[in-house]
């Protein structure tokens, strides 16, 4: 059994993907080919924003946004404590201060109450000036953008949506990657919409920010690539990856998103009486980058993971260590008591296999072994 079955996806889309890749090779237009521009247009239309700027990966996408805003030393950027390392890493890379924020135990996303407390505390300390919030759409579900936007507006902060896991999700009909002043996503192969390597994109309705980001991603270029008007970086999406994504986006829209939601609903129906299953509040729609259950404690989590592995079922822990405890952030260490929910989640979460091509018998196998173990050892 595969955790995220990319082989099954390829077999379903093989003829179209092979043809798309072959066309790029035949044309020998490997960098900035027409497929990149076409993909950007399709992605912008899908998300519902004016601009999509493709780039080399999801981490670069976040970096491009912070660079466009001029985030720098002396600035504070607020980041959820329960997320992948890059969300905080990009802040430190710009010389700014990452300030970690506890999350909601039900949705795994940034807790708005904790965010406002962190902003007030940072203002009171006076060591850094609050400038932006990076809200993450963790495991496929948008963050609470109604409350978070109210807070960023109140304190005059920029809002950056990290939709690396959230592409395809929505809140009250509005799609992920459209909630931030700038939003980003990742096309890492295992993401809801993934390519065959690294890739990412930036989304915005801000014309000026879009122009600056397009410049920064190609060495700060001006009128041409030999006219450099600012310090930039090299972060282009390869044409082959764009061609693959064009094919995958059609499947994603037509049936993959619906299929992965059906798999998640089946899991929840069959497991809700034995483990804590994911919560999708009213008005939210998830793209299910992960299906993450919560166990009683770390011992039960580790026991179940080992048991599943023994029986040929892969699982993953996202994430075993909170951001505030990472060695790389020891110089900006925060008080442990500020993160009760994150600390608990890191001991309890376990992601089960899920993808749009998952068969009912695979779901039942995961469910049966999970129920068997919990009924014996997890009560």
The ranges of the chain with pLDDT < 50 are none
Q: 260-283 burial, b if ≥16 CB within 10 A, otherwise e?
A: bbebbebbeebbeebbbbbebeee
Q: How far apart are the first and last CA of the chain?
A: 27
> Strand 174-175's sheet: what is its strand order?
174-175, 170-171, 284-285
Q: Which CATH class is domain 6-101+108-247?
A: alpha beta
Domain boundaries, given as residue ranges, for the chain: 6-101+108-247, 251-378
CATH 3.30.70.270 fits 251-378, yes or no: no
| Cβ(31)–Cβ(237) below 8 Å | no
> Which pLDDT score is estimated for 379?
63
> Which pLDDT score is estimated for 293?
98
pLDDT tens for each residue of 163-178: 999 999 999 999 999 9
pLDDT tens for each residue of 44-58: 999 999 999 999 999
| Cβ(2)–Cβ(208) below 8 Å | no
pLDDT tens for each residue of 59-106: 999 999 999 999 999 999 999 999 999 999 999 999 999 999 999 999
**Do 6-101+108-247 and 251-378 fold alike per CATH?**
no
């Amino acid at each position: 059994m595969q955790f995220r079955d990319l082989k099954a996806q390829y077999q379903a889309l093989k003829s179209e993907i092979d043809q798309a890749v072959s066309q790029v090779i035949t044309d020998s237009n490997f960098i900035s080919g027409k497929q990149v521009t076409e993909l950007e247009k399709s992605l912008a239309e899908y998300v519902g924003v004016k601009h999509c700027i493709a780039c080399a990966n999801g981490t670069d996408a976040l970096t491009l946004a912070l660079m466009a805003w001029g985030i720098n030393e002396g600035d504070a950027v607020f980041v959820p404590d329960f997320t992948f390392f890059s969300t905080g890493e990009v802040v430190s890379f710009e010389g700014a201060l990452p300030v970690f924020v506890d999350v909601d135990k039900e949705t795994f996303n940034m807790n708005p109450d904790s965010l406002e407390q962190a902003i007030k505390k940072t203002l009171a300390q006076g060591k850094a000036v609050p400038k932006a919030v990076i809200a993450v759409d963790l495991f496929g579900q948008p963050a609470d953008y109604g409350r978070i936007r109210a807070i960023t507006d109140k304190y005059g902060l920029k809002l950056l949506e990290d939709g690396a896991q959230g592409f395809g999700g929505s809140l009250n009909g509005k799609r992920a990657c459209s909630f931030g002043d700038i939003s980003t996503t990742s096309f890492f192969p295992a993401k809801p919409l993934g390519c065959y390597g690294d890739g990412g994109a930036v989304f915005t309705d801000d014309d000026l920010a879009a122009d600056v980001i397009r410049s920064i991603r190609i060495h700060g270029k001006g009128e041409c690539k030999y006219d450099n008007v600012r310090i930039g970086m090299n972060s282009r999406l390869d044409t082959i990856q764009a061609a693959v994504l064009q094919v995958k986006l059609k499947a994603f829209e037509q049936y993959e998103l619906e299929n992965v939601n059906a798999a998640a609903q089946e899991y929840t129906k069959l497991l809700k009486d034995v483990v804590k299953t994911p919560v999708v509040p009213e008005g939210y729609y998830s793209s299910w980058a992960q299906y993450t259950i919560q166990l009683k404690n770390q011992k039960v989590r580790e026991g179940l993971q080992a048991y599943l592995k023994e029986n040929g079922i892969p699982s993953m822990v996202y994430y075993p260590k909170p951001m505030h405890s990472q060695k790389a952030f020891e110089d900006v260490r925060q008080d442990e008591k500020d993160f009760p929910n994150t600390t608990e989640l890191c001991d309890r979460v376990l992601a089960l296999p899920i993808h749009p091509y998952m068969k009912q018998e695979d779901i039942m196998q995961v469910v049966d072994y999970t129920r068997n173990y919990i009924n014996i050892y997890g009560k």
